Amino acid sequence: MKIIFSIILLLMFTSPVYAETAELKYSIGSQIPKDYFPKWPYTDKDDWSFNTVSLIKGVDITSTLDTTVELSLSKFDFSEVDVTNFSIILGFEYDYVKLTWGSLYLDCGVGLGYWSAFPSESLIDNALPALVQYGTGVKFFLDEHIFVKLGYGFRHDSALFSDEDIGINSHRLEISYGVEW
């Protein structure tokens, strides 16, 4: 694990062969409604929303594949309590169609989070929530180095060491502004 973490840090803070990116992302979303989800104590019939702000640092592995580190801060609005979530996510972004004005991309990532309160009963005894996320979108270049992205994302948060927790699934609308050098 130390070797993997060291390689990621080396990739993030050394000059790459291709390019580096820095990005500010804003996400809004809500839970995916499912009848089989339990009614958690802080929810209104599984109806809640959130806002997320993320800082993303990316390094090109190839001209179409980036490795990323994302730090995100989210505010979840439940019926009885507001919950803050901090996450660190290691991921990849793949530009599967490159065009003169931008690209179409896919992204994915895994990470760990911290919750200020727990929306799920089984998370109460497990203070280490894990997450997986993926998405797709369009990247528009405003000039040679500045871009704007509009995308859709899916995220699943759940307790890392609990078999009972089915987790929280959410849809996300993501808007990003970034610089590439």
DSSP string of 30-51, one letter each residue: EEPP-TTS---TT-BTTB-EEE
Give the model confidence (pLDDT) of 129-162 as tens digits. 889 999 999 999 999 899 999 999 999 887 776 6
Task: Give the per-residue pLDDT at 177.
Answer: 96
b/e per residue 44-82 (b: at least 16 CB within 10 A): eebebebebebebbbbbbeeeebbbbbebebebebeeee
Task: Give the per-residue pLDDT at 50.
Answer: 85
Q: Which of 11-15, 93-97, 171-175 has the lowest mean pLDDT?
A: 11-15
Task: Give the per-residue pLDDT at 105.
Answer: 98
- The pTM score is 0.81
Cα gap 45→98, rounded to integer Å: 42
Question: 2-180 — its CATH code?
Answer: 2.40.160.20
Tell me the two tokens of residue 129. Answer: 């929530």
- Decide which of 165 and 144 is more confident: 144
Nearest to 133 by CA among 108, 152, 112: 108
Q: How confident is the model at residue 45 (pLDDT cuts 50, 70, 90)?
A: very low
